[in-house]
């Protein structure tokens, strides 16, 4: 499969990029690495007339890791994996990024690109002839969602590894258009709809990610997939918490990824944790809270019932890791790599 | 008078393969690297429905499109073809009926690929949709509409029934009877190289086809038939394959289509399949449902085995008749099986056709047999290794189904892995959640019969020697990554006592090289190797005769070694090899020699006895360790120990590579790989599609998923093999899958009676056990099948002569292989 023809634009500034997007509304897309949009174009899932490449915009490549963290959207995933400062300050985000795809793909993939990743579905991520053979689907050119034929909305799955973790960390993104700029919480960047999964407007460019003060906050990310590389998550659990010296949790957020069309907050899990210590019972209670929000469907690898069941397991792994348990063995079994923390 | 001797030092030495440099420096020219001047490009329009009659096919708009040079349809290809003479059921482009999503209906050739692809959308096809056959049980019970108008009945392609001895009485008289049903999911070859073909007319106007094929000779025949051309006017060149694994063993529609187009246009025409199209070509592992009824004595010896198999063949015949026989062919060569019945049935469904994948038809029933043996050992409280060691088949015998077995290194393999793995301290002794499993296997070193009946050699080698000291070795064998060029060179260089880099292999070219049947059935090392040795010995004897005269030394004292020919009693007296050849060239004229190989005649004389015989059988044993999380079913394989009876390792580096590659592929089949399909709700759609024809979603292990592998080679030279070598390309795959299943049982006490063995299935079995149900996950039952009359063959120990007592007299075949055995 080959790329369809398209026009390529390479602006040097965000303002120029925004102007280019405004020029061709609905016909242009951003290229921020291309590991998602280019294969999708080969499969004719997306056929933009214009691709606006962000690679030449230097300001998007800035990586600041201090008390607060600011990541330019064009920072590559490899840049992040190689940042010892990020690894030390926001270990959960480092773990999430280190498990995206493969080293080669991380060399070109960017954090902004990962956040805007198209939702995925085994009825949708196929070539045009395959999709024709099923009469197409709701997400593209068809009328039926084959995942659940009575569903009025598309059930394609949010498959970004970074978003659940950033949502748990209370991060915000900066969105810039020719009309101006705004900041939104990562939690508000997404909608639970496989088609309109982003609240980013088509003329907006996601330019940066900001993570508020990291001091004293623990974070961790657990990803379920068949193999040790390549695969998108088919379930993930991101957890971030502040824990007092006596073990009391003062702030906690558990987010479930790849189990709906957006990262799902688990407020019941968060409530189960705040003001308490991370005992096995408390962890189990939080796991039930997260289990309830996971709604996997039959459109990824693995069976949906088993995937849902794994929510409890991953929440357990995550919270035990936040508690300080040695989770290296479980990590190695599940991730096939150590993802060791910098202490 | 005895001849000269060879003292080559290559055999058994770990060496860099002769094609290694080209491969690691990217200089190997694969089919898709070819781009002759004036090349134009072909794309195929494939069916978007699983089963339909073509009501209308309108190509006017496509023909008129700018840049389009040619549009072909089924009407351009009246002649049918197929790899087996009994299954000539394919057309390069469908004429009346499409049989699966992906079946090609039209071809467009254009100045570039994008133009060809765009023109496909201008072809209008109207389909009269027919019933979708998604499951083999449906094909068994629904005879109409027929997917093909040939076959045994309805949608049954082939049924076979063979019996060797009174198996019912043997099972009835057994102390225990084990009755188990297993399922083996279909999976695909997944070579890294996608199929590609370039066809052109040579300056004389004759057809040349470059293709990534494992079987240039069979492709040659298919092209001649399908295009109606004399074979002498067709030249097939097999480019080095970037992996084959059986997936490039059939003649393919795209090869015939671009050949036709090149003849019509008188321009080179190229096609390279997309990965999705490779999944549609398939010819991979048949999904097989099977039932083993086995009688055993109290001490665990088999009294009789009754095997039934049901194969989901997909949409075409391919090698399917052979595959069907293979599901029951090799049960008898590992352990003593005094009475045996095998009944197999292959049905058509509307899916990409299945065929030969590494192990061809035997891994499925090997899985069932080895898992059932583990169950027998557990019930009888016998260690699974001991159970097997007690009943290893004896060497140099005939089995119940008349397979002539030579050397058997199976006991040595078992003993070695048991020792290396620390089996005695681990099996049944590791903590809950960890376990080890053992399984064994055997495989052919080449099929005893060719695909089509003939009395000619299975492999031929021709050598050209000249005054340069260089030797050109010509053979039709095909380098598919397995190292066949290296074997050819090694056998020649060993006999002539020269360096492997002094030998130029010229292979897989039907104009230049003698026929070799192809790289399938693990036949190349044994058959080509024997032919190469014969040719090299003949050349050596010619050179020796001339050198003997020149040096005035008896031929019997001459030694070929270290690029010299010298007197064994006075090694200083001799000639460099190049001078030795010069002397011979002066004495006899141009120096050439040929060698050929024909396998020994089979002992089986009943219908169906042609599948299974081989000049030699390899053996393997593996121990797999697993870790299973009982909370989730998550499974990890940290270590594999494997021992393989290779006879003799010609190049141990390549042998180990094949063993480890087999473990890799075996773990993929055991744990994740599955050629899965989506049948949309029938009330809404007739669609039946491959679930994920991509390398991202068809899961195959990555390097991070690979365990540590400890490989041992058992070397007991087999007289039938070149320098004693047997096969290694396929056999070591087979024990891996059952060993994983057996290890899961040792770890958490549940049986997974099917592959792939996934966390979900393990957890379901654990949950069943917790609820007091059978601690098992797997198929519930084998369907009732109306079997044909069983051919009754008395085993050798009951005075049988290899014929069936109830078979109608068979027409004697003129083309019986000579019984000479080795090099003919």
Tens of pLDDT, residues B719-735: 999 999 999 999 999 99
CA angle B326, B331, B332 (to 5 degrees): 120
B186 and B286 Cβ atoms separated by less than 8 Å: yes
- A123 contacts on B by Cβ (under 8 Å): 678
Of B629, B697, B703, the CB nearest to A333: B629
Provide the CA B175 distance to its chain's centre, in angstroms: 38
A99 and A339 Cβ atoms separated by less than 8 Å: yes
Instruction: State the smallest CA–CA distance between residue B28 and chain A in angstroms.
Output: 24
pLDDT at residue A213, as a whole number: 82
pLDDT tens track for B661-719? 999 999 999 999 999 999 999 999 999 999 999 999 999 999 999 999 999 999 999 99
pLDDT at residue B281, as a whole number: 96
pLDDT at residue B793, as a whole number: 98
B735 and B620 Cβ atoms separated by less than 8 Å: yes
Closest C-alpha among B489, B491, B516 to residue B503: B489
pLDDT tens track for A72-95? 999 999 999 999 999 999 999 999
The tokens 């070509």 sit on which residue? B281
pLDDT tens track for B137-149? 999 999 999 999 9
Task: Look at B689 and A226 and tell me if their CB atoms are within 8 Å.
Answer: no
- What are the tokens at A249? 């949790």
Taking residues B504-532, what's their average pLDDT?
98
Closest C-alpha among B81, B123, B66, B73 to residue B260: B73
Taking residues B158-187, what's their average pLDDT?
98
pLDDT tens track for B24-65? 999 999 999 999 999 999 999 999 999 999 999 999 999 999
Hey, how many other C-beta atoms are within 10 angstroms of the C-beta on B390? 14
Instruction: State the smallest CA–CA distance between residue B643 and chain A in angstroms.
Output: 26
Of A122, A310, A313, the CB nearest to B697: A122
- A334 contacts on B by Cβ (under 8 Å): 634
The single-letter DSSP state of residue B801 is: -
Q: Which whole-number Å values give the CA distances from B824 to B460, B465, B520, B534, B535, in the listed order? A: 10, 22, 21, 9, 11
Best mutation site among A98, A130, A136, A328 for testing chain B: the one with the most B CBs within 10 Å? A130
Question: Is 70 exceeded by the pLDDT of residue B254?
Answer: yes
Q: Which whole-number Å values give the CA distances from B653 to A297, B17, B342, B533, in the listed order? A: 46, 8, 38, 21
Taking residues B204-226, what's their average pLDDT?
98
Instruction: State the smallest CA–CA distance between residue A164 and chain B in angstroms.
Output: 22
- A230 contacts on B by Cβ (under 8 Å): 696, 702
Task: Look at A333 and B636 and tell me if their CB atoms are within 8 Å.
Answer: yes
Task: Look at B691 and A122 and tell me if their CB atoms are within 8 Å.
Answer: yes
pLDDT tens track for B7-33? 989 999 999 999 999 999 999 999 999
Element (H, E) at B414: helix B410-421
Closest C-alpha among B764, B773, B682 to residue B134: B682
Q: Which whole-number Å values give the CA distances from B176 to B297, B587, B749, B782, in the listed order? A: 6, 73, 21, 20
Closest-CA residue of A relative to B49 is: A133
Sort residue B280 into left (φ over 0), alpha (ψ -120 to 50) or beta.
alpha
Instruction: State the smallest CA–CA distance between residue A202 and chain B in angstroms.
Output: 28
Residues of chain A with pLDDT under 50: 343
Of B114, B704, B763, the CB nearest to A229: B704
Question: Is 70 exceeded by the pLDDT of residue B376?
Answer: yes
pLDDT tens track for B549-592? 999 999 999 999 999 999 999 999 999 999 999 999 999 999 99
Taking residues B778-788, what's their average pLDDT?
97
Question: What are the two backbone dihedrals, phi and then psi, of residue B412, each rounded to the nearest 5 degrees?
Answer: -65, -40
Q: Does B683 touch chain A (CB under 8 A)?
A: no
pLDDT at residue B809, as a whole number: 74
pLDDT tens track for B324-369? 999 999 999 999 999 999 999 999 999 999 999 999 999 999 999 9
pLDDT at residue B1, as a whole number: 54
Q: Which whole-number Å values give the CA distances from B751 to B427, B738, B744, B757, in the listed order? A: 16, 11, 7, 10
The tokens 């004697």 sit on which residue? B812
Question: What are the two backbone dihedrals, phi and then psi, of residue B565, each rounded to the nearest 5 degrees?
Answer: -120, 120
How far apart CA A255 and CA A262 sit, in angstroms, is 10
Q: At what angle do helices B759-770 and B736-748 cross, to 10 degrees?
A: 40
Helix (H, G, I), strand (E, B) or coil at B549: helix
pLDDT at residue A25, as a whole number: 83
Question: Is 50 exceeded by the pLDDT of residue B818?
Answer: no
pLDDT at residue A67, as a whole number: 87
B62 and B120 Cβ atoms separated by less than 8 Å: yes
Task: Look at B702 and A227 and tell me if their CB atoms are within 8 Å.
Answer: yes
Task: Look at B696 and A231 and tell me if their CB atoms are within 8 Å.
Answer: yes
Q: What are the residues facing B178 on neighbouring strands? A: B294
How far apart CA A280 and CA B731 sit, in angstroms, is 49
Handedness of CA B297, B301, B307, B313 (dihedral sign): positive
Task: Look at B274 and A127 and tell me if their CB atoms are within 8 Å.
Answer: yes
Closest C-alpha among B17, B47, B42 to residue B687: B47
- B678 contacts on A by Cβ (under 8 Å): 122-123, 134, 146
Q: Does B759 touch chain A (CB under 8 A)?
A: yes
Assessment of whether the complete model's pTM goes beyond 0.80: yes
String of DSSP letters for B469-480: S-EEEEE----S
B609 and B402 Cβ atoms separated by less than 8 Å: yes
- What are the tokens at B642? 């494997």
The tokens 């902004």 sit on which residue? A112
Of A2, A130, A227, the CB nearest to B113: A2
Q: What is the ipTM of this complex?
A: 0.97
pLDDT tens track for A138-194? 999 999 999 999 999 999 999 999 999 999 999 999 999 999 999 999 999 999 999
B552 CB-near residues (< 8 Å, 6+ apart): none
- B697 contacts on A by Cβ (under 8 Å): 122, 125, 301
State chain B's mean pLDDT as an integer. Answer: 96
């Amino acid at each position: 499969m080959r790329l369809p023809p398209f026009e390529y634009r390479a602006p040097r500034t965000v303002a120029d990029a925004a102007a280019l997007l405004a020029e061709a509304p609905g016909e242009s897309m951003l290229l921020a690495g291309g590991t998602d949009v280019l294969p999708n174009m080969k499969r004719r899932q997306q056929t933009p007339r214009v691709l606006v490449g962000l690679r030449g915009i230097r300001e998007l490549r800035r990586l600041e890791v201090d008390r607060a963290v600011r990541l330019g959207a064009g920072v590559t995933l490899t840049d992040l994996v190689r940042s010892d400062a990020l690894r030390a300050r926001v270990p959960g985000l480092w773990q999430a990024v280190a498990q995206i795809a493969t080293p080669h793909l991380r060399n070109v993939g960017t954090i902004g690109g990962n956040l805007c990743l198209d939702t995925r579905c085994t009825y949708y991520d196929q070539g045009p002839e395959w999709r024709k053979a099923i009469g197409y689907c709701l997400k593209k050119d068809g009328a039926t969602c084959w995942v659940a034929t009575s569903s009025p909305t598309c059930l394609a799955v949010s498959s970004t590894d970074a978003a659940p973790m950033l949502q748990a960390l209370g991060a915000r993104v900066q969105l810039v258009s020719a009309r101006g700029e705004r900041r939104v919480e990562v939690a508000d960047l997404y909608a639970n709809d496989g088609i309109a999964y982003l609240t980013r407007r088509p003329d907006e460019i996601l330019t940066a990610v900001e993570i508020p003060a990291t001091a004293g906050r623990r974070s961790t990310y657990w990803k379920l997939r068949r193999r040790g590389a390549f695969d998108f998550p088919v379930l993930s659990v991101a957890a971030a918490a502040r824990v007092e010296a006596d073990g009391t949790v003062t702030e906690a957020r558990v987010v479930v990824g790849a189990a709906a069309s957006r990262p799902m907050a688990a407020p019941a899990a968060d409530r189960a944790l705040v003001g308490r210590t991370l005992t096995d019972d408390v962890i189990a209670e939080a796991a039930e809270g997260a289990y309830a929000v996971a709604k996997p469907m039959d459109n990824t690898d693995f069976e949906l019932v088993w995937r849902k069941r794994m929510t409890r397991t991953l929440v357990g792994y995550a919270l035990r890791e936040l508690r300080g348990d040695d989770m290296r063995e479980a990590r190695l079994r599940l991730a096939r790599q150590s993802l060791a923390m910098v202490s | 008078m005895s001849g000269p001797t060879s003292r080559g030092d290559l055999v058994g030495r770990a060496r860099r393969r002769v094609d290694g440099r080209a491969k690691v420096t990217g200089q190997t020219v694969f089919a898709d690297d070819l781009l002759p001047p004036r090349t134009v490009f072909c794309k195929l329009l494939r069916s978007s429905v699983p089963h339909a009659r073509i009501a209308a096919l309108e190509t006017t708009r496509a023909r008129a499109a700018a840049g389009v040079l040619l549009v072909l349809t089924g009407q351009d290809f009246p002649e049918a073809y197929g790899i087996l003479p009994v299954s000539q059921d394919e057309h390069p482009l469908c004429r009346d009926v499409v049989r699966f999503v992906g079946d090609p209906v039209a071809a467009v050739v254009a100045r570039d690929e994008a133009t060809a692809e765009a023109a496909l959308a201008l072809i209008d096809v109207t389909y009269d949709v027919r019933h979708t056959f998604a499951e083999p049980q449906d094909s068994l019970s629904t005879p109409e509409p027929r997917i093909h108008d040939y076959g045994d009945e309805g949608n049954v392609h082939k049924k076979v029934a063979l019996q060797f001895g009174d198996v019912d009485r043997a099972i009835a008289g057994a102390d225990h009877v084990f009755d188990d049903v297993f399922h083996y999911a279909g999976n695909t070859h997944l070579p890294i190289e996608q199929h590609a073909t370039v066809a052109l007319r040579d300056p004389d106007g004759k057809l040349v086809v470059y293709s990534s094929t494992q079987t240039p000779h069979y492709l040659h025949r298919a092209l001649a038939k399908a295009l109606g051309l004399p074979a002498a006017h067709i030249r097939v060149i097999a480019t080095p394959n970037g992996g084959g694994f059986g997936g490039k063993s059939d003649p393919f529609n795209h090869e015939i289509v671009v050949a036709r187009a090149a003849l019509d246009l008188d321009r080179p025409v190229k096609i390279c399949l997309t990965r999705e199209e490779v999944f549609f070509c398939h010819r991979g592992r048949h999904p097989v449902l099977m039932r083993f009824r086995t009688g055993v004595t109290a001490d665990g010896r088999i009294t009789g085995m009754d095997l039934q198999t049901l194969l989901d063949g997909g949409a075409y015949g391919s090698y399917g008749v052979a595959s069907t026989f293979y599901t029951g062919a090799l049960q008898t060569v590992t352990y003593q099986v005094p009475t045996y019945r095998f009944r197999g049935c292959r049905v058509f469904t509307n899916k990409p056709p299945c065929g030969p994948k590494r192990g061809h038809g035997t891994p499925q029933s090997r899985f069932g047999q080895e898992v059932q043996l583990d169950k027998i050992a557990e019930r009888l409280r016998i260690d699974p290794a001991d159970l097997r060691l007690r009943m290893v088949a004896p060497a140099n015998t005939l089995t119940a189904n008349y397979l002539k077995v030579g050397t058997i290194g199976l006991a040595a393999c078992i003993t070695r892995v048991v020792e290396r793995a620390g089996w005695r301290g681990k099996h049944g002794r590791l903590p809950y959640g960890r376990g080890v499993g053992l399984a064994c296997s055997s495989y052919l070193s080449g099929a005893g019969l060719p695909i089509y009946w003939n009395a000619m050699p299975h492999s031929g080698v021709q050598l050209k020697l000249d005054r340069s000291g260089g030797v050109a070795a010509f053979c039709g064998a095909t380098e598919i990554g397995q190292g066949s060029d290296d074997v050819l060179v090694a056998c020649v260089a060993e006999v002539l006592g020269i360096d492997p880099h002094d030998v130029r292999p010229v292979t897989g070219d039907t104009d230049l090289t003698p026929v070799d049947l192809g790289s399938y059935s693990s036949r190349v090392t044994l058959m080509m190797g024997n032919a190469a040795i014969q040719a090299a010995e003949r050349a050596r004897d010619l050179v020796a005769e001339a050198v003997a005269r020149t040096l005035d030394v008896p031929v019997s004292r001459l030694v070929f070694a270290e690029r010299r020919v010298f007197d064994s009693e006075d090694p200083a007296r001799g000639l460099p090899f190049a001078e030795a050849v010069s002397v011979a060239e002066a004495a006899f004229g141009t120096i050439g020699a040929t060698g050929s190989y024909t396998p020994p005649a089979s002992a089986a004389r009943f219908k169906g006895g042609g599948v299974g015989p081989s000049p030699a059988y390899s053996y393997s044993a593996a121990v797999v360790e697993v870790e299973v999380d009982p909370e989730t079913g998550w499974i990890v394989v940290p270590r594999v120990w494997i021992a393989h009876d290779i006879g003799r390792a010609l190049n141990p580096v390549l042998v180990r590579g094949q063993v480890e590659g087999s473990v890799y592929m075996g773990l993929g089949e055991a744990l994740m790989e599955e050629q899965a399909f989506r049948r949309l709700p029938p009330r809404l759609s007739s669609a039946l599609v491959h679930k994920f024809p991509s390398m991202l979603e068809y899961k195959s292990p990555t390097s991070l998923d690979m365990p540590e592998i400890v490989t041992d080679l058992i070397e007991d030279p087999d007289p039938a093999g070149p320098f004693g070598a047997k096969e290694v390309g396929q056999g070591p795959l087979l024990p891996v899958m059952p060993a994983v299943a057996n290890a899961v049982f040792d770890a958490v006490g549940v049986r997974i009676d099917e592959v792939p063995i996934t966390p979900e299935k393990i957890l379901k079995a654990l949950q069943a056990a917790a609820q007091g149900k059978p601690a098992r996950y797997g198929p519930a039952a084998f369907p009732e099948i109306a079997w044909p009359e069983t051919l009754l063959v008395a085993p050798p120990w009951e005075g049988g002569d290899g014929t069936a007592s109830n078979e109608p007299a068979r027409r004697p075949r003129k083309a019986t292989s000579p019984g000479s055995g080795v090099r003919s």
